[in-house]
A and B are shown apart, each in its own frame.
Chain A
Amino acid sequence: MTRFETSRFGHDDEDVVVIVGSGAGGGTLANELCRNGIKVVVLEAGPHLTGEDYVNDEWEAFGQMAWTDPRTASGSWRIAKDFPNLPAWIVKAVGGTTTHCAGACPRFKPHEFHARTTYGDLEGASLLDWPITLSELEPYYDRAEIKMGVSHRHGRPPLPANNNYKVFAGGAAELGYTKVSTGPYATNAEPYDGRPATVQDGFNFQGDKNGSKWSTLVAELPKAALTGNLDLRPDSHVAQILHDGRGRATGVLYTDRNGTLRRQRAAVVCVAGNSIETPRLLLLSASGLFPDGLANSSGQVGRNYMRHTTATAWGQFDKPVNMHRGETMAGVIADESRLDTDRGFTGGYYMETIALGPAFFAKFVAPGDWGPDLTAIVDGYRNTAGMWIIGEDMPQADNRITLSPDVTDAHGLPVADVHVDDHPNDVAMRRHGLGRGTAIYKAVGATRTIETPPYPSTHNLGTSRMSERPGDGVVDRYGRAHDVPNLFVSDGSQFTTGAAANPTLTIVALAVRQAEFIVRELNRTLV
Chain B
Amino acid sequence: MSALLSAAAHRTLLAVLRRAYPHDTFPVGPYQRVVDAVLTAAAADPRLLAQLVQGLADLDRLRDLPFADLDADTAGAVLRSVQDTPFFRSVIDIAVVKLYDDHEVWDLLGYEGPSFDKGGYVDRGFADLDWLPEPQIEEASA
* Interface positions of A (Cβ within 8 A of B): 55-59, 152, 158-163, 165-167, 169-170, 172-173, 178-182, 198-203, 209-210, 319-322, 324-326, 334, 357-359, 361-363, 368, 370-372, 374-375, 378-379, 381-382, 444
Residue of A nearest to B132 (CB): A170
Residue of A nearest to B106 (CB): A358
Given known contacts A158-B138, A202-B120, A163 and B96 CB-to-CB distance under 8 angstroms: no
B113 neighbours in A (Cβ, 8 Å): 56-57, 357
Residue of B nearest to A382 (CB): B110
Q: Pick the residue among A163, A322, A362, A370 that contacts B110 (CB under 8 A).
A: A322
Given known contacts A170-B135, A181-B138, A363-B96, A375 and B23 CB-to-CB distance under 8 angstroms: yes
Q: How far is the CA of A203 from the CA of B22 in the complex (A)?
A: 28
Contact yes or no, B97 A363, CB < 8 A: yes
Q: Pick the residue among B95, B110, B140 that contacts A178 (CB under 8 A).
A: B140
Is residue B2 within 8 Å, beta carbon to beta carbon, of the partner chain?
A: no
Chain B nearest CB: distance from A168 CB in Å? Answer: 8
Contact yes or no, B139 A371, CB < 8 A: no
Bitwise, B99-140 to A at CB < 8 A (1) or not (0) is: 111000110011111111101111011111101111111111
Contact yes or no, A160 B21, CB < 8 A: no
Q: Pick the residue among B24, B25, B79, B132 that contacts A444 (CB under 8 A).
A: B132
Contact yes or no, B116 A358, CB < 8 A: no
Contact yes or no, A162 B126, CB < 8 A: yes
Query: Interface centre among A159, A199, A374, by most B CB within 10 Å?
Result: A199
Given known contacts A199-B119, A210-B120, A322-B110, A371 and B20 CB-to-CB distance under 8 angstroms: yes
Q: How far is the CA of A374 from the CA of B112 in the complex (A)?
A: 21
Contact yes or no, B100 A370, CB < 8 A: no
Chain B nearest CB: distance from A151 CB in Å? Answer: 9
B112 neighbours in A (Cβ, 8 Å): 324-325
Given known contacts A199-B116, A324-B112, A161 and B127 CB-to-CB distance under 8 angstroms: yes
* Interface positions of B (Cβ within 8 A of A): 20-25, 76, 79-80, 83, 92, 95-97, 99-101, 105-106, 109-117, 119-122, 124-129, 131-140, 142
Given known contacts A200-B120, A362-B100, A363-B97, A381 and B110 CB-to-CB distance under 8 angstroms: yes
Q: How far is the CA of A370 from the CA of B80 in the complex (A)?
A: 10
Q: How far is the CA of A24 from the CA of B128 in the complex (A)?
A: 34
Given known contacts A56-B113, A180-B135, A181-B139, A162 and B127 CB-to-CB distance under 8 angstroms: yes
Residue of A nearest to B128 (CB): A163
Q: How far is the CA of A202 from the CA of B106 in the complex (A)?
A: 15
Listed by A's residue number, 30 A-B pairs whose Cβ atoms lie within 8 Å are A59-B101, A158-B137, A159-B137, A172-B135, A178-B140, A180-B139, A181-B139, A199-B119, A199-B122, A200-B122, A201-B120, A202-B126, A209-B116, A210-B120, A322-B110, A322-B128, A324-B112, A326-B127, A357-B106, A358-B105, A358-B106, A362-B96, A370-B21, A370-B96, A371-B22, A375-B23, A378-B23, A381-B109, A381-B111, A382-B110
Contact yes or no, B109 A379, CB < 8 A: yes
Chain B nearest CB: distance from A258 CB in Å? Answer: 27
B139 neighbours in A (Cβ, 8 Å): 178-181, 334
A362 neighbours in B (Cβ, 8 Å): 96, 99-100
Residue of B nearest to A170 (CB): B132
Chain A nearest CB: distance from B23 CB in Å? Answer: 5
B111 neighbours in A (Cβ, 8 Å): 324, 357-358, 381-382
A202 neighbours in B (Cβ, 8 Å): 115, 120-121, 126
A359 neighbours in B (Cβ, 8 Å): 97, 100-101
B122 neighbours in A (Cβ, 8 Å): 198-200
Residue of A nearest to B103 (CB): A57
Contact yes or no, B129 A167, CB < 8 A: yes
A444 neighbours in B (Cβ, 8 Å): 132
Q: How far is the CA of A444 from the CA of B109 in the complex (A)?
A: 22
B92 neighbours in A (Cβ, 8 Å): 368, 370
A209 neighbours in B (Cβ, 8 Å): 116
Chain B nearest CB: distance from A466 CB in Å? Answer: 30
B100 neighbours in A (Cβ, 8 Å): 358-359, 361-363, 378
Q: Which 8 A-B pairs have the closest CB atoms?
A: A199-B120, A382-B110, A169-B135, A56-B114, A201-B120, A326-B126, A325-B121, A362-B100
A172 neighbours in B (Cβ, 8 Å): 135
A181 neighbours in B (Cβ, 8 Å): 136-139
A326 neighbours in B (Cβ, 8 Å): 121, 126-127
Given known contacts A173-B135, A362-B96, A374 and B21 CB-to-CB distance under 8 angstroms: yes
Residue of A nearest to B19 (CB): A371
B76 neighbours in A (Cβ, 8 Å): 371-372
Q: Pick the residue among B121, B127, B131, B140 that contacts A319 (CB under 8 A).
A: B131
Contact yes or no, A161 B131, CB < 8 A: no
Q: How far is the CA of A55 from the CA of B117 in the complex (A)?
A: 10
B138 neighbours in A (Cβ, 8 Å): 152, 158, 181-182
Residue of B nearest to A332 (CB): B139
A357 neighbours in B (Cβ, 8 Å): 106, 111, 113
Given known contacts A160-B137, A169-B135, A322 and B96 CB-to-CB distance under 8 angstroms: no
Contact yes or no, B97 A166, CB < 8 A: no
B22 neighbours in A (Cβ, 8 Å): 371-372, 375
Chain A nearest CB: distance from B100 CB in Å? Answer: 4
Q: How far is the CA of A57 from the CA of B97 in the complex (A)?
A: 12
Q: How far is the CA of A319 from the CA of B95 in the complex (A)?
A: 29
A162 neighbours in B (Cβ, 8 Å): 126-127
B128 neighbours in A (Cβ, 8 Å): 163, 322
Residue of B nearest to A169 (CB): B135
A378 neighbours in B (Cβ, 8 Å): 23, 100, 109
A159 neighbours in B (Cβ, 8 Å): 137
Chain A nearest CB: distance from B5 CB in Å? Answer: 21
B142 neighbours in A (Cβ, 8 Å): 178
Q: How far is the CA of A324 from the CA of B125 in the complex (A)?
A: 10
Given known contacts A59-B101, A178-B140, A381-B111, A163 and B126 CB-to-CB distance under 8 angstroms: yes
B125 neighbours in A (Cβ, 8 Å): 163, 322, 325
